[in-house]
Amino acid sequence: MTDPQTILKKTFGFDHFRGVQEQVIGRVLGGRHTLAVMPTGAGKSLC
């Protein structure tokens, strides 16, 4: 599996995650139960 930063750039064209996106993705990839409550426009769909 490729690291999240590489996938972010290759798939979405972004250089960095916004807000807590990286933390949410890290928890999910780490196998932890995760509930991400984020405001509109914070990037939930990318997570």
Local structure of residue 32 (DSSP, 8 states): -
* Mean per-residue pLDDT over the chain, rounded: 93
pLDDT over 70 at 18, yes or no: yes
Query: Does residue 9 contact residue 2 with C-beta atoms inside 8 Å?
Result: no
20-39 pLDDT, tens digit each: 999 999 999 999 999 999 99
Residue 3 — very low, low, confident or very high, per pLDDT cuts 50/70/90? very high
Query: Does residue 42 contact residue 24 with C-beta atoms inside 8 Å?
Result: no
pTM of the full structure: 0.82
Name the token pair of 6. Answer: 């590489």
Residue 22: count of CB within 10 angstroms of its CB: 15
